[in-house]
Structures are given as C-alpha cells and as structure tokens.
Amino acid sequence: MFIPRGFGERSIVTKLGKMVYYTAQGEPWHEPTSTETLVFLHGFGGGSSAYEWSKVYPAFAADYQVLAPDLIGWGRSAHPPRSYQAEDYIETIIEFMEQTCTGATTVIASSLTAAFTIRAAIERPELFKSLIVTTASGLSEFGQDYRQSGFAQFAQAVNAPLLNQLLYGTGVANSLGIRSFLEQRQFAKAERIYPEIVEAYLQSAQRENAEYAALSFVRGDLCFDLSPYIPKLTTPTAMIWGRGSQFTSPELGRQLAAMNPQAIRGFYYLDDVGFTPQLEQPAVTIGLIRQILPLLD
C-alpha cells in the first residue's frame, strides 16, 4: 500500500537478520540514465521506515538507481529482540552498502541515522561518494543531551519487559500515539500530517518485536555525541536543517558544520519544517537535493 508505483521489495541478509529495501522494478521506470546510485536512509521514532522518504525518492528513479531500506528493527526488516546500540546501525549501514552498491555512493540520511552514516563514512570512506543529511545529530552534542529529557528518563526508569510492552502499546503503537509523535517531534505544522502518514507509521509500529528498536531510541540507548567525529569526516557533505527540530536547533547544526568546512560544504536552513522535511515539504526537499548533488561532485 505504501510502496510507490513502480517500486518493489528486495532484501539482503545482515548479521542482525534480513534487511528489506525498495528499488525501481517496473513501469513507469526504465533503465536509469546514470549508473550512479542514491541510497535513502530513514530516521528513528515510533513506526519509522523507508516510507519517510517515499514522497522523495521516486523523483530520482529516472536518473539514478534508487535504494531505500527499512533499517533493522523497523518497517518490514527483521526485528531481533535486543537492546540496540549505535554500533548495530553503523555496522548494518556498512553491510548494506557493501552488498548493494558498486563503488562510492551518495547517501541521503535523516536525523540520528544521518549521524550513524557520518560515522560509517569515517570508518569506511571508500564506500561513500557524498552525503546529504537532514538534522544530523547524535542527540548529545554541546551539553544538550536527549537522555536527560523527562521522557527518556521515564523510559529508562520503567525498563522491564512487561512495562516496556505496556509503555510501547499505550504510548506509541496506536493512532493517537503516532499522531502525537508526529505532531510534537517530526512536523512543524500539524495540518500537514494526513491519514496515510499516520497509517504507514502505525503499520510499522505494530509489527512483532517493533518495541525493541523503538524503545532503545526512546530511552536514549542509541544517542552519542557526534561532535568529536565531525573533524574526522572527509566525505563531501551537505546539511539540511529545519527550524522546528526538537532537541536539535539549527544553531547546533551550524556549530557542527563549522567544525569541518572542508568536508561540510553547505548548510541549508528551512524555516517552516521540523525533523522530516522529506515528508512535510517533499517537493522543496526534492528541489534542494537536486541543487546540492552537483555541488558535492
């Protein structure tokens, strides 16, 4: 229902299980005019998945080989019951690139996943041609630590299997929980959240064992300070930031960008979006990505 027209599902096997991804497979798409690949990586939150980029990536299917995975623990990929750590996602991003891409590839990534991708590019620079990242933060930079927020501390306090399931079922994996998350965390303007978005997030959130990755995120288990890594980045990078991003203001983004102007070649500020411009203003996001791509070559 939520896979764009002409796209189909494929998968690879990682150390943590099957990782599903979406790529153009039929009409109206033919062979892309370029041999280059674009990888789109979604961020985290209640019910996140590759759907987050589904209003953007079809616009590039005529020109690029497009790959948009559901990360482990999210969407239709495997949901191993475990306490997830940042290293799990850094490793699986690298595994995905190794198995699906030939040569250095441009990756477009969102929020905390963007921070993981920056670390992956530092660890394996030969895999990455360039990065376009939206609100790239480990949520623990410059004294602003998400783990000290009230909701994160509450989730840490009730960290027991039965309480976890209760917290997830009542607070996240239902329509009201999803809409509240999108309104408070993802979008600057609630009127832009239409029913399909809520339903797509809800279907992902209600998959078996979906609470493990989601609560690892909510507790702050995946958070880290990105700032010590930024000076090590050599991959050409552009940052996009929305004014309405909670916990991660545009000023934080500018501080990160200023730490490595050789690699971070552009900082783009959008004043009317939140954490996910790719869902809130997809047409603007498409246009901005098209403008950025040649600047990073």
- pLDDT digit string (tens) for 248-287? 889 999 999 999 999 999 999 998 999 999 999 999 999 9
Query: Do 158 and 164 meet the contact criterion of CB atoms below 8 Å apart?
Result: yes
Is residue 76 pLDDT above 60, yes or no? yes
CATH of 7-296, one of 3.90.1110.10, 3.40.50.1820, 3.30.70.980, 3.40.50.300: 3.40.50.1820
Q: How confident is the model at residue 163 (pLDDT cuts 50, 70, 90)?
A: low
Q: Given pLDDT bands bounded at 50, 70 and 90, which one contains residue 158?
A: low
At residue 75, the 3 state secondary structure works out as: coil
Contacts of 22 (CB under 8 A, 6+ apart): 3, 4, 7, 8, 9, 10, 50, 54, 67, 68, 69
Q: What is the pLDDT of residues 191-224, one digit of tens each?
A: 999 999 999 999 999 999 999 999 899 888 999 9
Average pLDDT of the chain, as a whole number: 91
Question: Which residue has better confidence, 149 or 91?
Answer: 91
Distance CA 108, CA 149 (A): 28
- The Cα 94–Cα 89 span in angstroms is 8
DSSP E strands: which ranges in 92-236? Answer: 105-110, 128-134, 140-141, 144-145
pTM of the entire structure?
A: 0.94
pLDDT at 72 over 60: yes
The domain ranges of the chain are: 7-296
- 21 beta partners: 10, 69
pLDDT value, residue 244: 76
